[in-house]
Amino acid sequence: MKRVGVLGTGQMGVGIAQVLAQTGHEVLLWNRTEDSLEWGLTAIRQGLDRLLKKERISQLDHKDTLAHIRGVVAPEELKAADIVIEAVPEDLNLKKELYARLHLICADDVIFASNTSSLSVTSLARDSGRPEHFIGMHFFNPVQVMKLVEIVRGLATSGETTERVRALALAMGKIPLDAKDYPGFVVNRIVMPMINEAIFALEQGVADAKTIDECMKLGCNHPMGPLALADLVGLDIVLAILESLQREFGDPRYRPCSLLRKYVEAGWFGSKTSRGFYTY
């Protein structure tokens, strides 16, 4: 699978596109507006500039990687893709609409992989019109650095689809591990309650944000503290995942801390809005 469509130019879409291009794949990066597309392409260029500056890549790699990415606005352009990785916002209607459109454009055996972190893969698969060729391919932030890809089969996902997607993850230099289609899969089910608990601790004044993070770094050897991690992932995303865990399991232990809700209401989404538990 050499030609990969990537839908969405948020943190995840941009990271996925960059890693694909760096590992020799032809990328068709899609967003519905020219402005968002330009933003995504600029983010990739800046990421590669940083690698060049650190001498992690050569000038030739830099040029070659960018040449592997073509930004597209018309969904029809994705007809050329062997697989489409969807990383648009977690809006069910938006995803449904996109799948319905692409289902008519792409050949029947083209795989649709979703980077969803909070929706049921089985249910998205049904909406895709091609449940056997639909799968969850869950990357982690920052995609350029994190090795894991959770491979999540829907009830109807075929064995062949799973093998092809696993091979693609390996070709991207990632480590694919299987997770069942339960809310949060493995990582988010464990990490999001931890982040939530850190926010409860902050709300109750157990310690300030910096101290909570330092405690988890020094006491548990985590590379970054849970509040800084929440800022990196995006507080809006953390809230959406916790709400999904609470809704799907029907278990109050996943209830999002009201302080998290307040930050999201204020538009403090973390590093992407320059303000979250820290300022950037």
Residues contributing to the site for ligand 3HC (CB under 6 A): 47, 54, 56, 117, 140-142, 144-146, 187-188, 191, 223-224, 229, 233, 237
User: Shortest gap between Cβ of 24 and ligand 3HC (angstroms)?
Assistant: 19
Question: Is 117 marked active-site?
Answer: yes
Closest CA to 194 of 171, 213, 210, 179: 213
Which C-beta is closer to ligand 3HC: that of 4 or that of 43? 43
Question: Is 25 marked active-site?
Answer: no
Question: Is 138 marked active-site?
Answer: yes
Question: Is 31 marked active-site?
Answer: no
CA 55 to chain centre: 27
Q: Which of 150, 196, 244, 271 is catalytic?
A: 150
Instruction: Look at the block and give the residue holding tokens 């068709």.
Output: 28
Quote the radius of gyration of the chain (alpha carbons, Å).
19
Q: Which of 188, 196, 244, 271 is catalytic?
A: 188
Which C-beta is closer to ligand 3HC: that of 72 or that of 228? 228
Closest-by-Cβ residue to ligand 3HC is 117
For helices 226-233 and 187-203, the axis angle rounded to 10 degrees is 120
Structure tokens at 276: 């979250």
User: Shortest gap between Cβ of 157 and ligand 3HC (angstroms)?
Assistant: 19
Q: Which of 31, 114, 115, 117 is catalytic?
A: 117
Contacts 24+ apart (CB under 8 A), 254-257: 254/192, 254/193, 254/196, 256/196, 257/196, 257/199, 257/200, 257/203
Catalytic residues: 117, 138, 150, 188
